[in-house]
Structure 1
Amino acid sequence: MSLKDKEKWNQKYKGPEFLTGKEPCEWLSANADLLTGRGTALDIAMGEGRNAVFAAQQGYRVLGLDISEAGVQKARKLAEENGVRIQTAVVDLDNYLFQPQAYDLILCFNFLDRRLFPGMRGALKPGGLIVYETFNLDY
């Protein structure tokens, strides 16, 4: 991602309101029974952290990644408001190296970079779950 992307997302997330709300993605909450709550979760491009916080509430140890410092700060605040802990990191996903077989759950919502797919697959532990939702103009 570029510096321009970083600035764009910092600008979007800088206000006090949560751009996408504080509740998890509808699909994720409706299918919470698929989540074991055991192990480690990775939330890629987590934004303001609503899905990372939800995963932590389910029992996962969570690492949330985003390019925006403002988004990451709001994610930490949301976790604190909900009485859970999440680990966060400000990263440029163009340069991020996934840890092999490190995660039981990988979340990615509203972000599409197909170049990340092999790394995501390699970062998943055997029997793990990837939950991916993105916008598609064709459907």
Structure 2
Amino acid sequence: MSQNPTPSFEDPAGTWNRRFDQDDYLFGIEPNEWLREQAHHWRAGQRILSVADGEGRNSVWLAGQGLQVDAFDIAEIGVAKARRLAASRGVAVDFTVADCDGFPWPQATYDGVAAIFVQFADPALRARLFANMAASLKPGGVLVLLGYTPRQLVYRTGGPPLASHLYTEAMLREAFAEMDLLTLREYDAEVAEGTGHRGRSALIGLVARRRQ
């Protein structure tokens, strides 16, 4: 995430296109570790949505696990790189260029939703996004989410420099109160994801299941 909030939030598509417009992958090509650890909640053949998927590292890895993956991102340059990564790995992902409000959220469709470091959203957009993610899950579907906590403002190793965009345990409990929380854990870890996320980081991970 950009360390300069103003241009990012005024022109998010342009900001992310500029950040992704390089030969290297900004956040690397390996999946996020929390996602890797929690993917056992899904079975091969199930349908998964990767939210704000960037350059494809998470969606492509999920497809490599035998999952049927949809993914979207606001930046067309990021999505183009994601398509190249999928082709290089020999997997299929249904990619869409869209922002979080513009994506045509299907209702009760997905067995899983992956939302990794989706922290560009202000509180109003975040509320809509979280509601759409929950509603897009089938009954029994599982959400895997990871974000930064406000203590990340001290580390400054990734993420937006605005406390309002960061996650707390209370916020996540309230946002997903209608779901069954399987895991909610706040922790520090060393993150090494390309040049975009690197160093000691203040994290919070959630796994929640839509009620039957």
TM-score by structure 1 length? 0.92
What residue number does 2:30 align with?
23
Does the 8 Å contact 2:38/2:144 carry over to 1?
no
Distance in 1 between the 2:69 and 2:39 partners?
16
How many residues are paired up? 139
Cα distance in 1 for partners of 2:9, 2:95 equals 20
Residue number in structure 1 paired with 2:43: 36
Q: Which residue does 1:51 correspond to in 2? A: 58
The sequence identity of aligned pairs, in percent, is 35
Deviation at 1:2, TM superposition (A): 6.4
* Structure 1: runs of 5+ lacking an equivalent: none
- CA positional deviation for 1:15: 0.5
Query: 2:72 maps to what in 1?
Result: 65
Matches of 1:7 and 1:86 in 2, distance apart?
A: 24
Q: What letter corresponds to residue 71 of structure 1 in structure 2?
A: G
Q: Per-residue deviation at 1:69?
A: 0.3
Query: Cα deviations across residues 25-78 of structure 1 (Å, max 9, x unaligned)?
Result: 011223332221232111110001111011111111111100000110011111
Aligned to 1:80: 87
1:119 aligns with 2:126: no
The alignment partner of 2:101 has SS state of helix
CA contact (8 A) 1:37 1:55 kept: no
Distance, in Å, in 2 between the alignment partners of 1:80 and 1:40 is 19
The structure whose residues are more often strand, as a share, is 2
**Aligned mate of 1:102, from 109, 117, 136:** 109
Runs (5+) with no aligned partner, structure 2 = 1-7, 120-125, 152-201, 203-212
102-111 or 29-38: bigger deviation = 29-38
1:132 equivalenced with 2:145 (yes/no)? yes
Distance 2:30 2:141 in 1: 24
**Alpha-carbon separation, structure 1, partners of 2:132 and 2:31:** 24
Offset, 1:126: 1.3
Q: Give RMSD over aligned pairs.
A: 1.7
Q: Per the alignment, do residues 31 and 117 of structure 1 end up closer, same or farther by CA in structure 2, a change over 3 Å counting?
A: closer
Measured at CA, do residues 3 and 85 of structure 1 come closer, stay the same or move farther in structure 2, by a change above 3 Å?
farther
Q: Give the TM-score of the pair, scaled to structure 2.
A: 0.62
